[in-house]
Amino acid sequence: MTTATDAPRLAPGVGITGFGQGFVMPSLIRVLLSEVPVSVAGAGSGVFTTTRQLSLAVGVAAFGSRALPART
């Protein structure tokens, strides 16, 4: 298979994942940051955003290492 034939096969799953994140993330952010005191709200938000970005980067790296064939 080539990249051109894989893209249409991946599109529905990527679309559903993005749609689901749109519903889940606002509630998750509200729940996680509701316990952070107002005096450190900026730090709590920064830690949450950094953790989210790091998790996404690790997920993309893991998926990419499994999805793409090894080049020798």
For residue 1, how many C-alpha atoms fall within 13 Å in the half-sphere facing its CB?
A: 11
Tokens 């993330």 belong to which residue?
A: 25
Q: What is the pTM of this model?
A: 0.64
Tens-digit pLDDT profile for residues 13-50: 889 988 988 898 889 889 988 999 999 999 999 999 99
User: How long, in residues, is the chain?
Assistant: 72
pLDDT at 6 exceeding the cut of 70: yes
31 against 6, higher pLDDT: 31
